[in-house]
Amino acid sequence: MQAAVALAWWNPWRYVHLMTSTHDWHPSGALAGSVVMLGVAGSLGMRSRTVVRAAVSFAVVVLLAITVLGTLAEVAHNIGNLDRGEGPRVVGISPDGRYEIVVAYAGDLFDADTAVLRVRSRNGLLSRESTDLGCVRPADSDPAVVSVAFTGPQNVMISTGDGRAWQARFDPETLRPTATFGPPCR
């Protein structure tokens, strides 16, 4: 079970419904639960009180480590992605309806008005999300208003209300950006 939770946490396929940044589910809870189950199962099968105490103590230490690491990861995520209380917002859908462009306002504490754009497939539970397609930093003190238009099956035109415009492309199979735009996102 721990391997499955770790694989979901790692999420190399970038499935949207496994991403902890877009949903309330957090894999550290499942991992902690599996450690408790292993500790209980181990203590039930042992006869020596010393071995039972050692097994329970080990499970408690591992649980504390998971809790601390999970909390630190959540704090780092919340500081690194100040999204003003709203999740990613869809700003463009491909003409065939297979892909969408989502934007989230993110950045560090001093640059929370940066719009990060990503490509997302529209496959229900099997939806995936790309890495950063590009970032739009504000031209002035207000967040950039971003509009997106698909100019081809995997070509995207990004523009802002102040006249700035970029083009980007992505691979339709992997969703990886093949041509990004704007300054580096991180």
Q: How far apart are CA 102 and CA 145, in angstroms?
A: 13
Does the pLDDT of residue 59 top 60, yes or no? yes
pLDDT for the residue numbered 40: 74
pLDDT in tens, 111-141: 557 788 999 999 888 888 888 888 888 777 6
Closest-CA residue to 64 (of 35, 40, 30): 35
171, 155 Cβ separation under 8 angstroms: no
Burial label, 16 (beta-carbon count in 10 A; 0-12, 13-18, 19+): buried
What is d(CA 20, CA 27) in angstroms, rounded to the nearest whole number? 8
Over the stretch 90-114, which tens digit does the pLDDT of each residue have?
999 999 999 999 987 655 444 557 7
Confidence of residue 143 (pLDDT cuts 50, 70, 90): low
Bridge partners for 41 per DSSP: none
User: What DSSP element (H or E) covers 51?
Assistant: helix 49-80
CB atoms within 10 A of CB 103: 21
Q: Give the best-scoring range by mean pLDDT among 13-22, 60-69, 70-79, 102-111.
A: 60-69
| Two structure tokens written together for 133 | 């397609």
The first and second tokens of residue 174, run together, are 């992997």
| 8-17, 105-114, 164-173: range with lowest mean pLDDT | 105-114
Measured distance CA(37)–CA(45) in Å, rounded: 13
| 27-45 residue pLDDT tens | 666 667 777 777 777 767 7
